[in-house]
Amino acid sequence: MEIIELKKNSHFTEKETTKKAFSDLEKILVAYRGTELSENSIVKINDLVKSINSFQESSERKYRRKLLITRSNIIQLIVKEHGIVPEKYYQKQWFVLGIVTFGIPIGIIFSTAIGNISMLAVGYPLGMLIGSMIGKQKDEKAKKEGKQINLSLN
């Protein structure tokens, strides 16, 4: 079984943002066609693609949103079921997690120690740095294990 092709809807490709969303989803589908996926995963991906191909509403904004949500759903499905990730997947994820898990506590410690609440902002860049480093290590590990596809998304 193979992943079906995404059909271009000429009514909704006037804006650059919609063209980019369509192109990104198409890149993902092409990249995942080259990997070994279970039939269950392929069926789920095909269902998502069919819903895009049969999109009937008249709003380009809704079409773009559907493309973005479908892209995210496909990536999450493959990560969950097969552990295969795009390039810099963990780095992007841990960038935000670093702020929350490391940056805010570090900022609170600094601001409490100095007695100035504005020092809370010192922790954010430190958290970003720590999170990015953790994410980069996880991405390198996934690449070594062959669990990373050659696909870079913004």
pLDDT of residue 139: 94
Q: For CA atoms 134, 90, 136, 129, give the dihedral sign.
A: negative
Residue 36: inside a domain: yes
What is the domain range of residue 135? 89-144
**pTM of the full structure:** 0.81
pLDDT of residue 12: 67
d(CA 79, CA 89): 10
Q: Which residues of the chain have pLDDT under 70?
A: 12-13, 154
- Count other Cβ atoms within 10 Å, centred on residue 152: 11
Number of structural domains in the chain: 2
pLDDT of residue 154: 64
User: Among 82, 108, 126, where does a domain finish?
Assistant: 82
d(CA 126, CA 123): 5
DSSP letter (8 states) at residue 115: T
